[in-house]
Amino acid sequence: MFFDHDIVQRIKVFGIFTLQFYKVMTGTMLTLFIPQACYTDNDRNQLRICSLTENYENTEVFHKTTFYWNGFSFFLFIMTYILELQREHWAIKYLDINNDIPDNALKDKIILEPDLDRVMDRLNKFYFRSLVVTSGVYCINVLLMIKIVISDYHSVSTLSCFFSFVLLVLMKLYNSLSVGHQSVKNDKMMSAFMNEFVSYNVLDSDYLEQKEKEKLLIDKPIDPEMIQIEEIIPTNQETISTKEIISEK
pLDDT (tens digit per residue) in 117-169: 899 999 999 999 999 999 999 999 999 999 999 999 988 999 999 999 999 99
User: Does residue 18 sit within a domain?
Assistant: yes
User: Does residue 232 sit within a domain?
Assistant: no
- 225 pLDDT more than 70: no
What integer best gives the mean pLDDT of the chain? 82
User: Does residue 94 sit within a domain?
Assistant: yes
User: Does residue 247 sit within a domain?
Assistant: no
C-alpha distances out from residue 102 to 4, 97, 106, Å:
24, 10, 9
User: Does residue 224 sit within a domain?
Assistant: no
User: Does residue 226 sit within a domain?
Assistant: no
What is the structure's pLDDT at 44? Answer: 62
Q: What are phi and psi of 38, to 5 degrees?
A: -130, 160
Largest Cα separation within the chain, whole Å, is 106
Planar angle of CA 59, 61, 67, nearest 5 degrees: 75
The whole-angstrom separation of Cα 110 and Cα 221 is 61
* Tens-place pLDDT, residues 55-84: 999 999 999 999 999 999 999 999 999 898
What is the structure's pLDDT at 167? Answer: 95
What is the structure's pLDDT at 74? Answer: 95
CB environment 179-205: b (16+ within 10 A), e (fewer): bbeebeeebbbbbbbeeeeeeeeeeee
Tally the domains of the chain: 1
User: Between residues 18 and 160, which one has the greater pLDDT?
Assistant: 160
C-alpha distances out from residue 66 to 63, 123, 125, 196, Å:
5, 32, 30, 38
Q: What are phi and psi of 48, to 5 degrees?
A: -150, 170
Radius of gyration of the chain (CA): 33
Provide the pLDDT confidence category of residue 106 given band limits of 50, 70 and 90. confident
What is the structure's pLDDT at 5? Answer: 65
User: Does residue 39 sit within a domain?
Assistant: yes
User: Does residue 205 sit within a domain?
Assistant: no
Tell me which of 22-36, 58-72, 87-101 is least confident.
87-101
Q: What are phi and psi of 37, to 5 degrees?
A: -85, 130
Provide the residue range defining the domain that includes 173: 5-185
**pTM score, two decimals?**
0.72
